């Protein structure tokens, strides 16, 4: 069972040495947490890998493992309300993971020339011991050591790069220290290790935009990445201030997808030249507000991620191509969804957690809310929701409460029809 109670993680420090050719890692994770109840033991999530030592507040702790569940027994009980620090030394080659039998591998992925992490929803546990649930967000420090000339990208800001030479003529190792000072769900934590070049791009004031591209990639071949600054400025007019200090993309091999890791979205290099790359770039950027800053309280609330990011695509179409183009696209999506028997987005079930209903009917729910309430009230709701739950977690009920408070209306029947009824209501017409 993913996620563990009894404590709240406040900070992870990952101090790892990575072999990008073999895909192996070795090092330690330090977990700073606070006990929310008296604990004689506590659990973490970890799949595979070899544990070598566990300490709690500097004293050796005993531990046992049952599948992906790691139970740690400290030398002394932890009182409720007290902070504690657990340090776990471990290593090995992390397992790749499949969310469903037909999904592509995810988690810790290595190609022989690169290592990267795409962990949504439950693969953070494949590469570090953690409380792998979106409700327990924490800040992060990454200290990642790799052989030169490999480069490490991670969430947040690059604080420093340290070099170590082992012998004359040896290129030595490089340690990259990255800092993520904003609370982050474990599934959004990432590192990318490859021979890459950092490309900085213009951004809005206070936001550093940096992409990490393989040396063979001409930055002009992914010109869509360069529009991130423009996109941030536009989305800020709708959602409120961009929630972080940095943003950018890492282009990686053998990934047939993209993922909105906090401040560093990861894209497979097959996206180069795609005619839908621009809209995917916009989608992953919108997640920085909806998914990353505001993270779902449970995975059942995933439409709050994907429905919002998908509707942001429609808003970008409206912005760049006009309202009629957006409405035509929305009607096309409605017809597509009306012909399916997928579970409704408010309760999609495990196998449809990332299915079309969550993305597209989730977006239609927002479109219908806009039609029901008008632009002024609708965007007031969106901005209030983004501000109220920034850097925290929210449920569907939380969003409904904001919508009802701002609109002054009882919207229970409206949301039930769009999020939970098998059949969709009629197509919503904007005024």
Distances 81 to 35, 37, 57, 401 between C-alpha atoms, Å = 5, 7, 15, 30
Euclidean distance between CA atoms 418 and 253, whole angstroms? 38
pLDDT value, residue 167: 52
Band (169; pLDDT cuts 50, 70, 90): low
Residue 236, pLDDT score: 98
> Taking residues 395-402, what's their average pLDDT?
98
Q: Which one, of 381, 387, 388, lies nearest residue 411 by Cα?
A: 381
What's the pLDDT band for 1 if we cut at 50, 70, 90?
low
The answer on pLDDT for 83 being more than 70 is: yes
Provide the mean pLDDT of the chain. Answer: 95
* Alpha carbon distance 2, 70 (integer Å): 11
Give the pLDDT of residue 286: 98
pLDDT (tens digit, 9 = 90+) per residue, 241-253? 999 999 999 999 9
What pLDDT does residue 164 have?
81
- Predicted TM-score of the model (pTM): 0.95
- Integer Cα distance of 263 and 287 in angstroms: 10
pLDDT of residue 431: 78
Query: How far is it, in rounded angstroms, from Cα 198 to Cα 291?
Result: 25
Task: Tell me what the mean pLDDT of segment 15-33 comes to.
Answer: 97
- The pair of structure tokens assigned to 149 is 């000339």
The confidence score (pLDDT) of residue 103 equals 65
Whether residue 306 is predicted with pLDDT greater than 80 in this model: the reply is yes
pLDDT (mean) for 342-352: 91
CA distance 189 to 119: 8
Domains of the chain in sequence order: 7-194 (2.60.40.1730), 295-419 (1.10.390.10)
81 vs 97: CA distance, rounded Å: 35
d(CA 35, CA 80): 5
Where residue 166 falls among pLDDT bands split at 50, 70, 90?
Answer: low
For residue 101, pLDDT over 60 is answered with no
Q: What is the mean pLDDT of residues 369-378?
A: 98
């Amino acid at each position: 069972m993913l996620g563990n109670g009894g404590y709240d993680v406040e900070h992870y420090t990952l101090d790892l040495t990575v072999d990008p050719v073999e895909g192996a890692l070795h090092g330690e994770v330090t977990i700073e947490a606070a006990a929310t109840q008296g604990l004689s033991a506590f659990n973490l999530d970890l799949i595979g890998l070899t544990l070598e030592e566990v300490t709690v507040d500097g004293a050796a702790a005993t531990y046992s493992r049952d599948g992906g569940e790691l139970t740690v027994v400290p030398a002394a009980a932890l009182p409720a309300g007290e902070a504690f620090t657990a340090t776990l030394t471990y290593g090995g080659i992390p397992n790749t993971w499949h969310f469903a039998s037909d999904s592509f591998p995810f988690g810790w992925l290595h190609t022989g020339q690169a290592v990267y992490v795409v962990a949504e929803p439950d693969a953070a546990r494949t590469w570090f011991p953690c409380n792998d649930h979106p409700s327990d967000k924490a800040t992060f420090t990454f200290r990642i050591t790799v052989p030169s000339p490999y480069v490490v990208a991670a969430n947040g800001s690059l604080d420093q790069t340290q070099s170590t030479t082992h012998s004359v003529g040896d290129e030595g190792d490089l340690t990259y220290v990255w800092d993520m000072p904003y609370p982050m769900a474990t599934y959004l934590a990432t590192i990318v290790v490859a021979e890459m070049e950092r490309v900085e791009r213009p951004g809005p004031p206070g936001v550093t935009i940096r992409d990490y591209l393989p040396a063979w990639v001409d930055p002009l071949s992914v010109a869509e990445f360069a529009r991130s600054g423009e996109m941030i400025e536009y989305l800020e007019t709708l959602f409120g201030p961009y929630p972080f200090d940095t943003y950018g993309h890492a282009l990686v091999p053998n990934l047939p997808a993209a993922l909105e890791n906090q401040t560093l979205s990861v894209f497979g290099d097959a996206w180069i030249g795609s005619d839908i790359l621009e809209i995917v770039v916009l989608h992953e950027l919108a997640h920085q507000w909806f998914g990353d800053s505001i993270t779902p309280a449970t995975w059942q609330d995933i439409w709050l991620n994907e429905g919002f990011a998908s509707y942001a695509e429609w808003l970008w179409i409206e912005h760049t191509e006009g309202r009629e183009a957006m409405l035509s696209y929305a009607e096309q999506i409605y017809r597509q969804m009306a012909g399916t028997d997928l579970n409704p987005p408010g309760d999609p079930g495990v196998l449809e957690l990332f299915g079309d209903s969550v993305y597209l009917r989730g977006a239609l729910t927002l479109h219908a809310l806009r039609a029901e309430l008008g632009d002024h009230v609708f965007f007031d709701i969106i901005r209030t929701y983004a501000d109220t739950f920034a850097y925290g977690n929210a449920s569907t009920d939380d969003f409904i409460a904001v919508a009802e408070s701002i609109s002054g209306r009882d919207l229970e029947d409206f949301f039930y029809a769009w999020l939970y009824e098998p059949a969709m209501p009629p197509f919503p017409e904007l005024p």
